[in-house]
């Protein structure tokens, strides 16, 4: 028992309840939880200071966004949204500030989904006459594209014109990569006037696709136009798998595809983005 003075004792009524809390990667769990409870006034600051030896950290706020889901702002009615509101991590300056967005429920058949999209966007686009280009993907790939709009290099893909950002002039061709759960980017009138656009002839197309599809042909020779091209434009093949299997040139379809193969052309395509359609089951 002390003979002189008094011992100061502080009592705190701390009540914490069981809860599952996600801790960000690279953060010490105890420090994260203590700082969080202090910011919510569930933990007295002196207790926090005691843990940190008298040096309590500055309380910060972390925002967790559904990065790989359909953005919450998107509805089943065509609505313009700021791209930064849709994707706060968007750092590609070439995208327009506002983007038209639409969420639609996928039908079992892609054709019915297409008809519904065209009906909802009637008056916004003329799908028969407008210069529209379509690129479909899953929502994770879309989020990554909105952050950095460049092609992802893969050794296992079957891109006919090599690495690049692809889009086709056919709604169904683009949408099949997004259906039944994904996103379809719609581009209108991409401005390639100051860029080198290589429109492949039949022999050039044969040699280019055979090279990138790894179809051995002894007489293959790539055109010099490939070296300086910013955009490659040509038909989409209709029987890629069969051509590879039999070691022959693919057959050209009626669908046209463009491939942006330079930073300038990727930027020009990004600038022409006018709408994103989200499919959900």
Query: What's the pTM value of the predicted model, to 2 decimals?
Result: 0.75
- Which residue has tokens 């009615």? 77
User: Does the pLDDT at position 257 exceed 80?
Assistant: yes
**Residue 28 belongs to what domain range?**
1-64
Task: Supply 33's token pair.
Answer: 């939880």
Please check whether residue 74 lies inside any domain of the structure: no
Please check whether residue 69 lies inside any domain of the structure: no
Note the pLDDT tens digit of each residue in 49-95. Answer: 666 665 555 555 444 556 678 999 999 999 999 998 899 888 878 99
User: 32-36, 80-84, 184-188: which range is least confident on average?
Assistant: 32-36
Residues 211 and 181 placed together within one structural domain of the fold:
yes
Pairing relation of β-strands 98-105 and 165-168?
unpaired
- Which residue has tokens 């203590």? 34
Handedness of CA 253, 254, 255, 259 (dihedral sign): positive
Please check whether residue 72 lies inside any domain of the structure: no
Residues 206 and 95 placed together within one structural domain of the fold:
yes
- Residue 230: which pLDDT band, with cuts at 50, 70 and 90? very high
pLDDT mean across residues, the chain:
85
- Residue 12: which pLDDT band, with cuts at 50, 70 and 90? low
Please check whether residue 113 lies inside any domain of the structure: yes
Please check whether residue 70 lies inside any domain of the structure: no
Number of folded domains that form the chain? 2
Please check whether residue 106 lies inside any domain of the structure: yes
Residues 105 and 170 placed together within one structural domain of the fold:
yes
């Amino acid at each position: 028992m002390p003979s002189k003075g008094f011992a100061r004792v502080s009592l705190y009524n701390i009540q914490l309840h069981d809860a599952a809390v996600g801790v960000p990667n690279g953060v010490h769990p105890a420090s994260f939880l203590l700082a969080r409870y202090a910011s919510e006034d569930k933990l007295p600051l002196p207790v926090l200071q005691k843990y940190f030896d008298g040096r309590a950290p500055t309380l910060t706020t972390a925002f967790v966004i559904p990065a790989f889901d359909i953005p919450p702002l998107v509805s089943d009615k065509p609505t313009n949204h700021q791209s930064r509101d849709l994707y706060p991590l968007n750092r590609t300056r070439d995208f327009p500030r506002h983007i038209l967005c639409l969420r639609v429920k996928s039908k079992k058949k892609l054709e019915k989904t297409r008809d519904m999209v065209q009906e909802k966007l009637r008056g916004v686009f003329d799908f028969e006459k407008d210069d529209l280009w379509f690129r479909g993907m899953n929502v994770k790939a879309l989020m990554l594209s909105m952050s950095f709009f460049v092609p992802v290099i893969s050794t296992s893909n079957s891109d006919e014109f090599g690495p690049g950002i692809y889009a086709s002039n056919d709604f169904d061709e683009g949408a099949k990569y997004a259906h039944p759960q994904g996103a379809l980017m719609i581009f209108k009138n991409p401005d390639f006037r100051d860029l080198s656009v290589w429109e492949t002839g039949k022999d050039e197309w044969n040699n280019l696709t055979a090279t990138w599809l790894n179809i051995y042909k002894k007489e293959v020779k790539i055109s010099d136009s490939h070296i300086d091209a910013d955009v490659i434009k040509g038909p989409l093949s209709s029987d890629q798998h069969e051509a590879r299997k039999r070691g022959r040139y693919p057959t050209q379809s009626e669908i046209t595809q463009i491939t942006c193969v330079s930073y300038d052309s990727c930027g020009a395509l990004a600038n022409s983005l006018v709408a994103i359609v989200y499919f959900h089951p």
